[in-house]
Structure 1
Amino acid sequence: MIPRAAVLGHPISHSKSPALHLAAYAKLGADIGYTALDVTEQELPALMARIRAEDGWRGLSVTMPLKTGMVAEVDEVRGVALTLGVVNTVAFEEHLGATRRIGYNTDVAGIVNAVVNAGVAASPDAVILGGGGTAASAVAALKDLGTRHAQVFVRDTARAGDARAAAAAVGLSIDVRPLSEAAAPTAHADVVISTLPPHGADHLAQHIAALGTRTPGVLLDVAYDPWPSRIAAVWQDGGGSVVPGLEMLLYQAVEQVRLFTGRGEDVNAAVIDVMCDAVGLPRRAI
């Protein structure tokens, strides 16, 4: 059986993860298949039970809305994933003749690398849009960047549990406020991380444009289809730097490829170059 991996989420048809991973495996000469599986939160336990009974799995990439639910579906959670209670990566490891499913979080490193590459300085004034699993990773990333306080804007302040739990876990002070109040604080922030779904920030973008002010900071919009998003276009028009979600996806996927293949140093600049080419990103040094 050919070793295999997959990205799980709902919806998933837009995902660029297969292109990134397959390009990397081809360059490495690693015979690993990689597909996209549309899985809802309700379907996740049954899928993981089926996967548990099958041979040949190397890894799973986990996207919305499954990142918190996956914690209960693995045998062990390591690193920042344990701190946050958010898993975006599952690696399959052999130990004493048995396969163990290990949960990791590569989103935090993906966010940090993406915004640092865009020129974000230490201790930035920060805004997060959204309060779910990816927002939790954004909280941890901002803590790593030296941010002491962040504003989190959400559509429903009662549903920001992931962001609040992450802030408590890593020791970052946050204010959670309605998305309707986000325009001015967002426009003036050093770094904005939008974890909202596609079109989720369109209304906010209109309000930022209506302010008629410059947007001098860095915006990372995790949603990358369609691109450019409305908020990315408004941000760029205001003079700010925009980091496409594809760049974050690249950075976190590099770490996944290393985990799924077990070939750390081999996942080098040449592999990253073909991953960039596969999704139309400028080539980056990692």
Structure 2
Amino acid sequence: MTLPYAEVIGDPIVQSKSPAIHNYWLGTLGIAADYRAAHVTAEGLESYLAKRREDPLWRGCNVTMPHKQAVMPFLDRLEIGAEMVGAVNTITRRERSGEVRLIGTNTDMAGFMEPLLPMLETPHYFRMARVLGTGGAARAIVAALAEQGVMVVLAGRDPAKARAILDEIDPEGEHHVADLSHFADPTDFAFDDREGCFDLVVNASPLGMAGQPPLLFDLTHAPPGSIFYDIVTYPADTPLLQAARGAGFRTIDGLSMLIGQAAVAFEKFFGSPPPRDDGDAGLRALLAK
């Protein structure tokens, strides 16, 4: 029997945990469907989407590096979040009256914010985040934080690109840019009293991922009480998180964002919310194997 299916696409793709996540949920719910990984290069992206458009069994795909912006010209419509962020991480196929439309969505915003929202329910005197990276995920993260009144310092190898992202996503915000190398060396900056403040450090780049160069971030750049959030998932416990935890900082791993955004995409693909009653403990145990 041929089953409905969804996919994750990227280049590379071997490191993706999305098939394990979605197939775990499909199996738990007893849904007769499949979720796969597809290696798609930049040159093959247009052809891939054209073929899948014609496949009635294809429910859509998640989009990972480096295609989150490149897919946009090949889609028929962008949902509001994707349009605001300027990046797509989920594509769904919709057919009505014989017409097929590919819809671009961004679930990264919801996935990233899921573990942070309980902390942001409390009012703060000041909210600040140092976000490292300027790719598609960083765009979603900046948009999500700006919605919560967080002042962002966006750091990248090209500060001009970082400034363009901030100006496009939140032109009225009082945000700042920095060269990524600024955070590599120690600082003797004396942080003021952080009582009642919310401070966040986010690695939104692939640096620190297995096979990628390390992320050079000296912990002296983090105010006391900062939360470290690394969206890298391979490995989930990155060198940045290990160092931050060893210094007494609270940490959030990339599986939190990955599972959160996958939950939104899963319902779009398969029409049912995923089973998460155990707080994702069973899924995390599977992914740790």
Q: Conserved in 2, the CA contact under 8 Å of 1:136 and 1:163?
A: yes
Q: Conserved in 2, the CA contact under 8 Å of 1:215 and 1:239?
A: no
Q: Shift in Å at residue 243 of structure 1?
A: 0.6
Q: Which of structure 1's runs of 4+ aligned residues deviate more than 6 A?
A: 185-189
The amino acid of 1:79's aligned partner reads I
Give the aligned partner of residue 128 of structure 1: 131
Give the aligned partner of residue 228 of structure 2: 219
1:167 aligns with 2:169: yes
Q: Conserved in 2, the CA contact under 8 Å of 1:222 and 1:246?
A: yes
What number of residue pairs does the alignment pair up? 274
Q: Residue 152 of structure 2: SS of its match in structure 1?
A: strand
1:154 aligns with 2:153: no
Return closer, same or farther for 1:201/1:130 CA change in 2, 3 Å cut-off.
farther
Return closer, same or farther for 1:82/1:279 CA change in 2, 3 Å cut-off.
same
Return closer, same or farther for 1:43/1:215 CA change in 2, 3 Å cut-off.
farther
Q: Conserved in 1, the CA contact under 8 Å of 2:163 and 2:176?
A: no
1:7 aligns with 2:16: no
Q: How does 1:228-239 map to 2 (within 5 A)?
A: 228-239=237-248
Give the aligned partner of residue 275 of structure 1: 283
Q: Conserved in 1, the CA contact under 8 Å of 2:78 and 2:103?
A: yes
1:246 aligns with 2:255: yes
Q: Residue 278 of structure 1: SS of its match in structure 2?
A: helix
Q: Shift in Å at residue 202 of structure 1?
A: 3.2
Give the aligned partner of residue 56 of structure 2: 55
Q: Conserved in 1, the CA contact under 8 Å of 2:53 and 2:93?
A: no
Q: Shift in Å at residue 165 of structure 1?
A: 5.2
Distance 1:241 1:138 in 2: 19
Give the aligned partner of residue 92 of structure 2: 91
Higher helix share: 1
Q: How does 1:60-209 map to 2 (within 5 A)?
A: 60-116=61-117, 119=119, 124-147=127-150, 149-160=151-162, 163-164=165-166, 166-168=168-170, 171-182=172-183, 190-199=199-208, 202-205=214-217, 207-208=218-219
Q: Conserved in 2, the CA contact under 8 Å of 1:11 and 1:38?
A: yes
Distance 2:6 2:55 in 1: 12
- Mind listing any 5+ residue stretches in structure 1 that lack a counterpart? 282-286
Q: Conserved in 2, the CA contact under 8 Å of 1:27 and 1:274?
A: no
Q: Shift in Å at residue 269 of structure 1?
A: 2.3
| Residues 82-123 of structure 1, C-alpha deviations (whole Å, 9 max, x = no match) | 112211011122222333211111000011112235x45555
Give the aligned partner of residue 26 of structure 2: 25
The amino acid of 1:39's aligned partner reads V
Q: Conserved in 1, the CA contact under 8 Å of 2:236 and 2:254?
A: no
Give the aligned partner of residue 194 of structure 2: none
Q: Residue 170 of structure 2: SS of its match in structure 1?
A: helix
- Mind listing any 5+ residue stretches in structure 2 that lack a counterpart? 192-197
Distance 2:177 2:226 in 1: 21
Q: Shift in Å at residue 181 of structure 1?
A: 1.4
* RMSD, aligned CA: 2.9
Q: Shift in Å at residue 53 of structure 1?
A: 2.5
Distance 1:153 1:4 in 2: 38
TM-score (normalised: structure 1): 0.85
Of structures 1 and 2, the larger Rg is shown by 2
Q: Shift in Å at residue 270 of structure 1?
A: 6.0
The percent of aligned pairs where both chains have the same amino acid is 29
Give the aligned partner of residue 284 of structure 1: none
Q: Conserved in 2, the CA contact under 8 Å of 1:59 and 1:90?
A: yes
